[in-house]
Structure 1
């Protein structure tokens, strides 16, 4: 049985769902430390000039796990609440794509809930995209498993507890995973080649948020 996992990122890119589709169980690592330089509160969408960051404003104090990060839902410098801004930018750049009308209503409902925690927002979007992309996967949440070990050992402990015999890591795991702790678990690395598909604007920008593919082609491109 193949187990993979990832932090709950904001508007994940296609590689996130590629790893998920190649797994039997997918770990949502929701209690690892928040990293503002990662994609946990931001991601990119396509615009005429190339791409643009969409960033969720957060309230952050110290080194805390992702599932404790609060969203700043207040107006900043008199500007609209971030969720309204994100929806407006998404609408401007995707309202003429083939599948926009099929998905924007349900996606808008997620933004309009005014989540207080970043992890809850991200998970709502992830769960919606799992359904939209028709991925059959079992999700587990690291925060509910009770392990106190850290780093590679913690991943190995979780995989063991789930009965996994294979751990599918992102390619970045080559730089940090301690394979010696996996013992009877086979470690494999994701080989993700970004698919090409027709985007609204001229040219192609890869590694956009997965909603780019959803609105343009209605599925995960092969």
Structure 2
């Protein structure tokens, strides 16, 4: 059985997002949909109401796809000062923390490769070895509904099981997936400690982060 997960790329998301990555044999970055300007694609939440670190982006038409977005030319100068919002020191004392600090200091180019790099840094450090790929590389047919798009992605990846976050239960019809020969599953709600994951990278050990994701 090949388990496939499909999610928009997020900038250092909450722990439940990484749990989905850990549960999948193939994790598809859904970058072939419209960029949500007030979502988490380019924003990472911090402790405290309404506190974010936001990736500076080049202006783009409102209907631009995530795959078309680019970091602003002055992104490095605008992103790094925001990192002062992170609580406590940011030690570069482990390979994971050094990689994250380097990423925060060098935002440039297209948005999706940058977000994919952030995802791979965490996945590799925590031992999540599923294959990561991009939806935009699949050249999906135009005009698919959201559910049809997911089914087509799963088919193309040879998937027999689709797994999603608990918030997606109202989006998909289990009978439609069953007729397509795909088992539809949802993770239980994430109850771990790290709804704000970026600060946790500098506060917790790799073992603690992994345990929180898999057990929380």
RMSD of equivalent CA atoms: 2.3
Asked if 1:18 is matched to 2:23, the reply is no
Asked if 1:115 is matched to 2:108, the reply is yes
Asked if 1:81 is matched to 2:77, the reply is yes
Distance 1:141 1:192 in 2: 25
Q: Name the residue aligned to 1:216.
A: 203
Distance 1:150 1:94 in 2: 45
User: 1:8–1:169: structure 2 CA closer, same or farther, 3 Å change rule?
Assistant: same
Q: 1:175-198 deviations in whole A, cap 9, x for unaligned?
A: 2224444221111111133224xx
Give the strand-richer structure, 1 or 2.
1
Q: Name the residue aligned to 1:72.
A: 72
User: 1:171–1:194: structure 2 CA closer, same or farther, 3 Å change rule?
Assistant: same
Runs of 4+ in structure 1 over 6 Å off: none
Q: Name the residue aligned to 1:94.
A: 88
Asked if 1:192 is matched to 2:189, the reply is yes
Q: Could you tell me how far 1:115 is from its partner in structure 2?
A: 1.3
Mapping of residues 1-222 of structure 1, within 5 Å: 1-46=2-47, 52-58=51-57, 59-74=59-74, 81-90=77-86, 93-95=87-89, 101-102=93-94, 103-148=96-141, 149-182=144-177, 183=179, 184-196=181-193, 206-208=194-196, 210-219=197-206, 220=209, 221=212, 222=215
Is the Cα contact below 8 Å between 1:87 and 1:108 reproduced in 2? no
Distance 1:22 1:106 in 2: 23
Normalised to the residue count of structure 2, the TM-score between the two structures is: 0.83
Report the count of equivalent residues: 202
Q: Could you tell me how far 1:108 is from its partner in structure 2?
A: 2.1
Structure 1: 5+ residue stretches without partners: 197-205
Distance 2:88 2:191 in 1: 20
Residue 93 of structure 2 aligns to a residue whose secondary structure is helix
User: 1:50–1:173: structure 2 CA closer, same or farther, 3 Å change rule?
Assistant: closer
Structure 2: 5+ residue stretches without partners: none
Is the Cα contact below 8 Å between 1:18 and 1:192 reproduced in 2? no
